[in-house]
Amino acid sequence: MSIKYDVIIVGGGHNALICANVLAKKNKKVLICEARETCGGLLTNDLTNFTPSFSNKVKSEIDNISVDHSSVSTIALSETGHHLKLTGNIYEDKKTLEQLAPEDVDRYFKLQKKLSLFSKTLGSFMHSSPPRILHKSFSDYFKLFKLGLNVRLMGRNSFNEFARMIGLNIADELEDNFKNTLLQGLISHDAITGSNLGPRSPGSLINLLFRMANHDNSLFGGIQQVKGGVNAVMKSLEENVIKRGVEIKTSSSVKRCIIENDQVKGIELDDGTSIHANTVISSADPKSTYLCLLGAEHLDTDFKRRIKHYRAKGRVSKLQLVLSKIPQFTNLESKDLSQRLVISPSIDYIEENFNYSKFENLSPEPILELSVPSVEDELLCHNGNHIMNVQIQYAPFNVKGGWENKKAECINNVLTTLEKYAPEIRSCILEQEFISPNDIEKNFNVSGGHWHHGEIQIDQLFMLRPIPGAAQYKTPVSGLYMCGAGTHPGGGMTGIPGKNAAHEVLKNI
């Protein structure tokens, strides 16, 4: 059998494209097989609202991509019309808080400074492969030492505070320090977005730190909107890898990896075609990679158990509304509708929503993040009409009664909630499309439909992501690697897993 490719990458999400780019720059012959008709994975205009921008370390690895970004503010909507707009700019935010939450101003900036230091420290570990625990090599010891040193270098007080807070829930921290419930609700919202935690769940703080590490270490800064939507970034990444000689096969679902004597030898597509390479990198999520592409027969019992227990049930749904006109929101200018609007007015509101979802029920008053990006970017209009993107937090993966029967109820709950802020919303709707976590699993080939291909929690992070023993982009099978959001450091449009994985692979081929 002739081996034509050095590397085959399963899936064509942004991490796969970035991984392919790094490998192709080192003259490796790479093939990407993507199951869907287009590359981009979960990062499409159908799902994604706002993104971080690629860090300099990722940008330096990919060719210049010609994409315009604009910074986005976050606006916590209030039923009373006293909306809270935070930009990440210290002077603007101070002015806003002095007006709306005067008692919280100093504490807000204190918290921002403290969390920023923690997220910077955690972020400093993101750009390399995590060390292997108990693997007595010099480089692993050195990485562990550096990790400990960076944490220690925060200074004794900060270190103690970090140790106190790391397993803490976000609600305790906010309730101890802030009076304004809207501000509490907004910060808590960003601590639980995309996760399976409530604001009172231990560990919700680490989710917030992870988010901040990807957003310029700021609570509400570093949030971007891409001109033309995220599809424009994906198109640009795709064009670049093609220029570098990477081949892309779309509509090519990979059925399994071909394994001979514990060494990967290539892949087999759903249509029976076999393609050979001694290195295969999966950008699919961990459960799909191990249980479907590799197959449980290649895993030992303990490994199988860990992968089966890997937590990856998605809790975010998406509703897209095509609007006949821009709806009027109480006390909001229409240009603000292109910003990030959040309906999450208090910690209790979030916790109640979490309780509904825990028991696989729908909340009558869901937590929403929405925007009408086409207000500022006509490229995002649909047949000349504006689109409203709404993300619904805590939409359970399995809902009691089944999603097919519950979609209409969920949409109605969203619109009833929206009406409190935009009374005429229903009369503006021309078309609507709803995507549940279940649909995300089916349509985007992500087991569980999870935002990060798996929870961002302390036992599924760093050298434990996705599971101990397979956290360095490697798998137990020689030549088989992973590069998607289920690997260190996790999901969102960062490209870091793809970049790190490529470097790990390059050490071995």
We find the least distance from the C-beta atom of residue 384 to ligand FAD, in angstroms, to be 25
Choosing from 446, 471, 501, 502, the residue that interacts with ligand FAD (CB under 6 A) is 446
Instruction: Give the nearer residue to ligand FAD in terms of CB position, either 316 or 464.
Output: 316
Residue 14 found at the interface with ligand FAD (CB under 6 A): yes
We find the least distance from the C-beta atom of residue 305 to ligand FAD, in angstroms, to be 23
Residue 222 found at the interface with ligand FAD (CB under 6 A): no
Residue 319 found at the interface with ligand FAD (CB under 6 A): no
Residue 170 found at the interface with ligand FAD (CB under 6 A): no
Choosing from 7, 8, 11, 257, the residue that interacts with ligand FAD (CB under 6 A) is 11
Residue 12 found at the interface with ligand FAD (CB under 6 A): yes
Residue 35 found at the interface with ligand FAD (CB under 6 A): yes
Which structure tokens are listed for 308?
């089966």
Residue 440 found at the interface with ligand FAD (CB under 6 A): yes
Choosing from 7, 33, 213, 463, the residue that interacts with ligand FAD (CB under 6 A) is 33
- Number of residues forming the site for ligand FAD (CB under 6 A): 38
Choosing from 452, 465, 474, 488, the residue that interacts with ligand FAD (CB under 6 A) is 452
Residue 371 found at the interface with ligand FAD (CB under 6 A): no
C-alpha 494/C-alpha 449 separation (Å) is 18
Residue 388 found at the interface with ligand FAD (CB under 6 A): no
Evaluate whether 31 touches 7 at the Cβ level (below 8 Å): yes
Instruction: Give the nearer residue to ligand FAD in terms of CB position, either 254 or 505.
Output: 254
Evaluate whether 85 touches 96 at the Cβ level (below 8 Å): yes
Name the amino acid, one letter, at 240.
Answer: N
Nearest to 135 by CA among 501, 475, 472, 505: 472
C-alpha 9/C-alpha 20 separation (Å) is 8
Instruction: Give the nearer residue to ligand FAD in terms of CB position, either 452 or 474.
Output: 452
Q: How many CB atoms lie within 10 A of CB 398?
A: 12
Residue 444 found at the interface with ligand FAD (CB under 6 A): yes
Residue 225 found at the interface with ligand FAD (CB under 6 A): no
C-alpha 202/C-alpha 457 separation (Å) is 10
Cα distances (Å, whole numbers) of residue 230 to 28, 190, 273, 308: 27, 20, 32, 32
Residue 221 found at the interface with ligand FAD (CB under 6 A): no
| Site stretch for ligand FAD (CB under 6 A), options 36-44, 159-167, 174-182, 298-306 | 36-44
Residues of 16-52 as b/e, b for ≥16 C-beta within 10 angstroms?
bbbbbbbbbeeebbbbbbbbbeebbbbbbbbbbbbbb
The DSSP symbol for 360 reads T
We find the least distance from the C-beta atom of residue 15 to ligand FAD, in angstroms, to be 3
Residue 254 found at the interface with ligand FAD (CB under 6 A): yes
Name the amino acid, one letter, at 250.
Answer: T
We find the least distance from the C-beta atom of residue 385 to ligand FAD, in angstroms, to be 22
Helix (H) or strand (E) holding 84: strand 84-86
We find the least distance from the C-beta atom of residue 268 to ligand FAD, in angstroms, to be 10
Those residues whose C-beta lies under 8 Å from the C-beta of residue 491, and which sit 6 or more positions away, are: 42, 194, 450, 451, 452, 453, 456, 485
Phi, psi of 96 (to 5 degrees): -60, -45
Q: How many CB atoms lie within 10 A of CB 113?
A: 9
* Chain residues 288-317 in contact with ligand FAD, contact rule CB under 6 A: 288, 314, 316
* Chain residues 466-485 in contact with ligand FAD, contact rule CB under 6 A: 484-485
| Site stretch for ligand FAD (CB under 6 A), options 11-19, 112-120, 129-137, 171-179 | 11-19
C-alpha 143/C-alpha 136 separation (Å) is 12
| Site stretch for ligand FAD (CB under 6 A), options 27-35, 107-115, 197-205, 360-368 | 27-35
C-alpha 451/C-alpha 455 separation (Å) is 8
Residue 493 found at the interface with ligand FAD (CB under 6 A): yes
Instruction: Give the nearer residue to ligand FAD in terms of CB position, either 94 or 255.
Output: 255
Which structure tokens are listed for 383?
């047949």
We find the least distance from the C-beta atom of residue 474 to ligand FAD, in angstroms, to be 17
Q: How many CB atoms lie within 10 A of CB 304?
A: 15
We find the least distance from the C-beta atom of residue 11 to ligand FAD, in angstroms, to be 2
Prior bond of 497 cis (ω within 30°): no
We find the least distance from the C-beta atom of residue 289 to ligand FAD, in angstroms, to be 8
* Chain residues 42-61 in contact with ligand FAD, contact rule CB under 6 A: 42-43, 47-51
CA atoms within 13 A on the CB side of 369: 24
Nearest to 344 by CA among 400, 390, 397, 408: 390
Which structure tokens are listed for 478?
């020689």
Give contact residues for ligand FAD (rule: CB under 6 A).
10-16, 33-36, 41-43, 47-51, 253-254, 283-284, 288, 314, 316, 318, 440, 444-446, 451-452, 484-485, 491-493
